Structure 1
Amino acid sequence: MKGLLINNETALSVMAVALAMMSLTAGAALAKSMFSYIDPASVTAIRFIMSAVFLTCVLRAWEVQLTRDNIGTVVVYGSMIAGMNLFFYLAIETIPIGMALAIELVGPLCVSIVYSRKRSDVIWVALVAVGIAILLPTSTSVMNLDATGVLYALVAGAFWGLMSLRGKKPAGNTDRRRRL
């Protein structure tokens, strides 16, 4: 029973995930509202420009020292983030945000299942699976979903799963000039 207790660290983690999901869905709703003016690829580009400004201004990105050893990691990780966002935005152009998100969550859920090590992990994965099942369409409404949108959501999920795996790699040492 000890492994099932929720401590402060777990509560903080759950809260962080909840806030991240609220941010993600609010951003997706804003992005979807822009599709009548610009295409999903342009929305993705705008999101990346805004992220670059944030990283530069708030997180002092200029202190990160790019080297020949880490530039590949940065490009690969950035490409995964771009792919995940682009395909998610392409998905929500034709299917509801909740459906796209539920389908996309299959990617990181699969990673969680494969790399689960503790009993409590199984409970969290099961809770996520139940949440996904609740969001997924019923058999009658599945016929109304655009197949291309579903495929885009699955590709976005694959990028998210790969990004989760790649993000586990240590970023290297940190000193006065932070390195990746």
Structure 2
Amino acid sequence: RAAAERAAAERAAAERAAAERAAAAERAATERAAAERAAAERAAAERAAAERAAAERAAVERAAAERAAAERAAAEWAATERAAAERAAAERAAAERAAAEWAAAERAAAERAAAERAAAERAAAERAATERAAAAGQRRSEQQRSEQQRSEQQRSGQQWSGQQRSEQQRSEQRR
């Protein structure tokens, strides 16, 4: 009986030891599973954080690119407007220059025409004065000629009457 009890006690001790080993193995498996789950969760969290950081970086880069594009577009628009304003100013200046040159040319033409008119009037006045002087000279010379003729006629008349008188006197003396 003592041998049977001892055998039973040993069996019970062996079963207890087997049960404890099984429990320890289960505990170890549970801990391993927990550690693996924790590692997987950590890896997932790190992946999510990395993806979030990448998304944020991409968003920042996209915003910077959009800002740069907007600034470029604004600069190009400003340059276009500046160029248009400069072109308009240049065209306005050219038009004003052309108008000023045209006005100057018209003024010069008017002054030239006035000078030519004045010269023509002066020449006409000088011609008229010359003609008047020539006519006056002609009248004077004609007057002088007529006076000369009159004086010659008077002289010849006096001579003739003197001759007549002397002939009359001679005839009277003869008588």
Bucket of the pairwise TM-score, normalised by the shorter protein: under 0.3
Higher relative helix content = 2
Question: TM-score scaled by structure 2?
Answer: 0.18
Determine which structure has more spread, i.e. the larger CA radius of gyration. 2
Question: TM-score scaled by structure 1?
Answer: 0.18
Structure with larger RCO (C-alpha < 8 A, sep 6+): 1
